[in-house]
Structure formats: C-alpha cells, structure tokens
Amino acid sequence: MKNQVVIGTRGSKLALWQADYIEKRLREEYPGLVVTQKRVTTKGDRILDVPLAKIGGKGLFTKELEEEMLSGGIDVAVHSLKDMPAKVPDGLVIAAVTKRLDPGDALVSNRFSSFAELPQGARVGTSSLRRRAQLLCARPDLVMLDLRGNVNTRLRKLDEGEYDAIVLAVAGLKRLGFADRIRQVLPQTMVLPAVGQGALAVETRADDAEMRAMLAFLRDDDTVCCAEAERSFLARVEGGCQVPVGVYATAAADGLKVEAVIASLDGRRSYRGEMKGARKDAAALGTALAEKLLAEGGAEILQELGLLSEE
C-alpha cells in the first residue's frame, strides 16, 4: 500500500472543502498515510469575465488537474461530478463516486422567500445554461443575468444588489455552511439537476491499481449506478458541463428511474421524459432516454447552439 498520496484540487473554498473531505476519509481509513494537497488553477478559474458557455471546450474545471495527474504531479484529483465531461481522458479513470449529498438547486434571495414571490422582470443570476433554460420555461418574464465566481463571490454580488435572486447548488451551500441562505429548494418538476450534482468524483490514473484499490471504500453503489445512467445520457448528447440539459436518476432495490430534459435557452421549447429499468442497464437506460428526447426535438435545440453534430 502507498504510504503517501498527493491530492490535486482547485483553489476555491468549495474545492478545498471537497479535497479536505477526501483527505480526512483517507486518513481515517489508512492511519499513518501521509496525505498532501496540490492546488491547480483551471481555465474555468482563470477566466472570470466571460460566461462559461462562451469560453468553449469541455473540462473547464478539470483539464489542468487531469494533465497534472497524467504527468505524475498528483495521484488523485477531486472534482464535483457535475463539472466532469462525459468522457474521461485516456489513461485516467473515476475510481470512486461518493454518496450524493443533495442534488437540488437553491433559490437564494435577500428580498423574496420563494420563486413564486419573484416579481415580474426580476433579475436572476446563474452561470448555468441548464438553470437558465428551465427557469425561463417556468417564468419567461424573468431577466436572466450571468453570474460567475466562487460561491462566496456570488453571494457577495447578490448582497451588493446586482441581482434580485441567484440560483446555486444546494450541496455547495450546505458544504460551505451557507444552508441558512437557502430560501427555497427548487422542485425537480421545475428544474432537473446537472449530471452528478451533489456527488464527488475521485479520479486517478487507470494504471495505478494500488491507488484505485485504496479509493474503492469511498464508492457509493447507489450513486455510482445513478451517475452511470446520467453520464451516459450526457455522453449521447455530446455534453460537457455547460449544456441546457438536466438529468437525474434515482436508484431503488428493484430498479432505476431516469428523468431528463433538453430545453432551449429562451425556455420556449422543452423536451422532457423519464424511463425505468434494471440497475444493471443503467448506461443503456440513459442512452435510450437521450435518443428519445433528441428525436422529439432536443437534437434541433443542441444543433442550433453548436453543441451537437448533425447526423
């Protein structure tokens, strides 16, 4: 067994919380193990004055960490699973997906206690095409404004009056101690979450069998099953983390249910559906649901945005 491990992480407070959490779990599981962290700045961290969707490329918050891992500078990288593109680079593997904390999206506002209370034309901040599209489906009167920066920065911008409300991941707010800022967890009938939202992915080199074995205890089987279905959906729609697509799977002893949506950025067109099947068919289920929604009209939406190649 290895006697020391280097964890790669981004430098935001949420990323550091995630790395600290995995470090703590490793130390508890392997007493005496020396664990250190190495901070890596990603493209998504460097470019803060441009909407994420306009930066281009996949892996905006993962690529540099993955390059550092392939070069041997770090042993593992900790990511929010929702930030990971559907395809993992050659030579790397997701060794563990942790138990999901909370997949939901939260409305945060200093003036309004719920989404329904937002007045006509309210200014709502989000960096996510997925949230923008689904919120406009529900409320086409809203003014959606781009919102970049880490969780603390986004809350500060709200507090300075730039927005009437902002939408953030419930899991991130809870992990950083901001649960009291949540005014409403938006219902999934309105907004389906991002692929893997609420779960952490621990990535390592595919040929490092020892590291993979050491990380296996972190794996949550239900979340892995759900993530497989969700990520296969994302792979079929050729998506990175910036696509107007929501997908959420729930696992039970007797099977799996997958719900998904593809929506236009103006919220005027939305294709939503669900499928149920056996847990062992998780990947096939996600792909089949993607095919269904693409055929119904989702393909046209993604092609218009340049996110799906024409066939």
Among candidate residues 45, 75, 83, 102, the one labeled active-site is 83
Burial class of residue 67, CB neighbours in 10 A (0-12, 13-18, 19+): middle
Q: Is 83 a catalytic residue?
A: yes
> What are the residue numbers of the active site?
83
